[in-house]
Structure 1
Amino acid sequence: MIVLGPNRYGKAETRVVRITRNGDAHRLKDLNVSTSLSGAMDDVHLTGDNSAVLTTDAQKNTVYAFARKHGIGAIEDFALLLARHFVDSQPSVHRARVAIDEYAWERNAGSGHSFLRSGGEVRTCVAHYDGSAAWTVCGLRDLVVLNTTNSEFRGFVKDAYTTLPETGDRILATAVDASWRHTATPPDGTGAAGEEAPTDWDKSYESARQALLAAFAGTYSRSLQQTLYAMGARVLADCPEICEVRLSLPNRHHFLVDLAPFGLDNPDEVYLAADRPYGLIEGTVLRDDAPPAGPAWE
């Protein structure tokens, strides 16, 4: 027997820029929004019956309309607003997933209306709503960090193909991709087991970001794996509203350049920054009493 498995559909990467004009001091929000819906929609696959389908074009238009009607504050609030709308307004939609990337802009000095695109990380969130509960995963990607010392790597397995020398001092660099999970958020805005869900998403994001940076800078690293754990543990220690952190850390290798052919020494000053291949370290750090992960991780 052939059957239809799990499925969903939506509008990917709707780019929306929202300008809030308060006199001469303008505020800019620049987002990439992806929506995805699922529910009682087997017939569209099995027979081509589109009567239960909310078009992806309508999903795109909803993003723009809600940006105008409701404004855009924290991206988590905007994602939850959209997800709840799709489920609560369409009988055939039982689950909605909204993923948002936010691109940062900085105010150009001396102007209320001129902006400079920040070269920093991208803030991310994924919100999922099924009609009774909501799950939110927040995070960031491409947070590029580097330590010039306090990192070593030695004592590893050596086989017939090992050529990497041990080192007691090296550059440690990575581009952090991190996601963190809050407890389930029912429609009334409270968290699981009666705990308050975060009401200030911006503050929560900044606290998690600063915890990642502090742990990276403050950990004497014997491996990138050890640093990964320290970063995740610091987020959980500093942010009680967060129960799980997932990290993906590419090891951006820096190799000391041999300057001897030119009659020069190189006392750990000149390096080649190699972009590939690279080691990729991934892991999860969570509280031992963390509730099961919801569908927002998907």
Structure 2
Amino acid sequence: MAIVLGENRYGKAETRLVRVIRDGETHTLADLNVSIALSGDLAATHLTGDNSGVLPTDTMKNTVYAFAKEHGVGEPEEFALRLAHHFVDTQTQIRAARVGIESFGWERLGPHSFRRQGGSTRSTEVTVTVEQTQVVSGIQGLVLLNSTDSEFHGFPRDRYTTLPEATDRILSTAVDARWRHLRDDTDWGKSYEAAVEAMTRAFVHTYSHSLQQTLFAMGSQVLSDLPEVAEIRLALPNKHHYLVDLSPFDLTNDNEVFIAGDRPYGLIEGTVTRDDVPPAITEWYP
């Protein structure tokens, strides 16, 4: 039996970058967490310890900071594309570069004062090979809640089923979504805002018989509104809310007082796609 080296990659993970853009008295912030992974002709370093093809990960970190100064940051997708193309174009042994970025928002309080925006985080993952480019945008931790217009019933029951059927319940989730673009020349900021708005609008206006139904409605709305998106992957944890038993206090609870559950929780995942899009060049979600 032969033992061989399988797929491999290496890089610099979670380089923290804060870039201040100074326009006179008015400043703007870009706050990023950048991760880089390279793959290609790297067998020698694994098999013999020959590092002649291994660009140091410290160099990757330095490139992030130097590019932020020399070229600016712009939208996360722009910055990731610039970095990924640089590594593929300048390192002949590298066949593919993947750059993932988390982008943290700040709310302006004055010309040079800011407050960190809580809640969701914008994300980007760009993969550049010598032949193709793939851009995936996303959002993590978008918390949404409908206090009614949600049901869950008609499910199979067995000897271990204790869940009562619900015809009026709270539906809440923390959306993790990633969507793959058809092109690499999109207006990234406008597209991101439109995708988040489409998902939110679908959540608000869908009478839900299951979180799965809501997931499909959210994904479908994004594809309907954004022709530049090929497909979208959503992961929706069901943030359960349980009615409190108030009968010991001679009180009724007409869907008014709840315990917000922490764990365990249901996790609904799915991809909504067009039926005529080209396949992804590489796996683009965990």
* TMscore range, shorter length: over 0.9
Give the % identical residues: 60
Q: Mark the CA change 1:296 to 1:27 in structure 2 (over 3 Å): closer, same or farther.
A: farther
Alpha-carbon contact 2:16-2:32 (below 8 Å) kept: yes
- State the AA in 1 paired with 2:94: V
Tell me the secondary structure at the aligned position of residue 175 of structure 2. Answer: strand
Displacement of 1:245 in angstroms is 0.6
State the partner residue of 2:150: 151
Tell me the secondary structure at the aligned position of residue 80 of structure 1. Answer: helix
Q: Does 1:168 align with 2:167?
A: yes
Structure 1 range deviating more: 263-272 or 70-79 = 263-272
Alpha-carbon contact 2:151-2:168 (below 8 Å) kept: yes
5+ unaligned residues in a row in structure 2: which ranges?
none
Cα distance in 1, alignment partners of residues 274 and 87 from structure 2: 32
4+ residue runs over 3 A deviation: none
Tell me the secondary structure at the aligned position of residue 10 of structure 1. Answer: strand
Displacement of 1:184 in angstroms is 5.2
State the partner residue of 2:51: 50
Cα distance in 1, alignment partners of residues 148 and 274 from structure 2: 30
- State the AA in 2 paired with 1:148: S
**Could you tell me which of 220, 239, 242 is aligned with 2:207?**
220
Q: Does 1:122 align with 2:109?
A: no
Cα distance in 1, alignment partners of residues 224 and 262 from structure 2: 33
Displacement of 1:133 in angstroms is 1.7
Cα distance in 2, alignment partners of residues 131 and 66 from structure 1: 21
**What TM-score do you get using the length of structure 1 for normalisation?**
0.94
Deviations 1:112-144 (A, max 9, x none): 111111112100010011123210011111000
- State the AA in 1 paired with 2:9: R
State the partner residue of 2:70: 69
Alpha-carbon contact 1:9-1:38 (below 8 Å) kept: yes
Cα distance in 1, alignment partners of residues 254 and 147 from structure 2: 13
Q: Does 1:272 align with 2:276?
A: no
5+ unaligned residues in a row in structure 1: which ranges?
186-196
State the partner residue of 1:17: 18
Alpha-carbon contact 2:132-2:281 (below 8 Å) kept: no
Displacement of 1:265 in angstroms is 2.1
State the partner residue of 2:231: 244
CA RMSD after TM alignment: 1.0
Displacement of 1:13 in angstroms is 0.4
Tell me the secondary structure at the aligned position of residue 22 of structure 2. Answer: strand
Displacement of 1:296 in angstroms is 5.7
